[in-house]
Amino acid sequence: MKGSREKAASELFAALYPSLAGWCRRLVDDDGTAHEIASEAFTRLWSRWTAVAEPRGFLYVTAANLVRDHWRKLERERRAVRRATVEAAVGPRNEQADPSVRLLVQSLPGRLRVPILLHYYADMPIREVAALTGRKEGTIKADLHAARELLRAHLRRSLDHTL
C-alpha cells in the first residue's frame, strides 16, 4: 500500500512539476522563486495526500496562493523602501554614494530595527508592532522616530562626503 502511494506521488511529481514550475516562472519572473513555489505546493500536497481528491487542481490553487503571497511581499518591500527613502532623504540622490536603505536598516540596533522592519517592511500598524514586541505604542513611535533620525544622519553623512 505504502509503495503504491509513493509510486503514485512520484509519477504525479514527474508529470506535473515541470509544467507547474514553468507556470510559476511566468508569474514571478524568477527561476529560483518559481521552483521554491512549485516545491512548496508539492510539499503541501504531500502533507494532505490522502485527503486531496484532485491533486492537480490543489497544486495550481496552492501555487497561485503562494505567487500572490510573493507578489504581496514584493509590494510591501517596495513600499517600505519608498517610505524609508522619502522619510530619510535630505537632498538629491547620488546613486553611487547613496548607501542601500536595506543595509542601513540592518545596521540599526535591534531595539530600533525590529519596529522598522515590522512597521515599514511588513506593513503592520503601530498597535500591532507594540503587541508583537510587548512594548507600549508610545515606545514604538519613539523608536521609529529615533530609527528615522539615525537613517537620516547616515544619509546626511553619506551625502556630505560626496559634495
Taking only the tens place, the pLDDT of each residue in 129-162 is 888 788 999 999 999 999 999 888 888 877 766 5
pTM of the predicted model over 0.85 = no
- Rounded Cα distance, 41 and 17, in Å: 10
Of 57-61, 105-109, 124-128, 136-140, the least confident = 105-109
Average pLDDT value for the chain: 82
Structural domains of the chain, ranges and CATH numbers in brackets: 1-91 (no CATH), 93-162 (1.10.10.10)
Distances from the Cα of 46 to the Cα of 1, 24, 71, 80, 116, angstroms? 16, 19, 25, 35, 37
Taking only the tens place, the pLDDT of each residue in 23-60 is 999 888 899 999 999 999 999 999 988 888 888 888 99
Tell the residue number behind the cell numbers 503514485, with chain if given.
8
| Residue with more model confidence, 85 or 138 | 138
- Rounded Cα distance, 56 and 9, in Å: 12
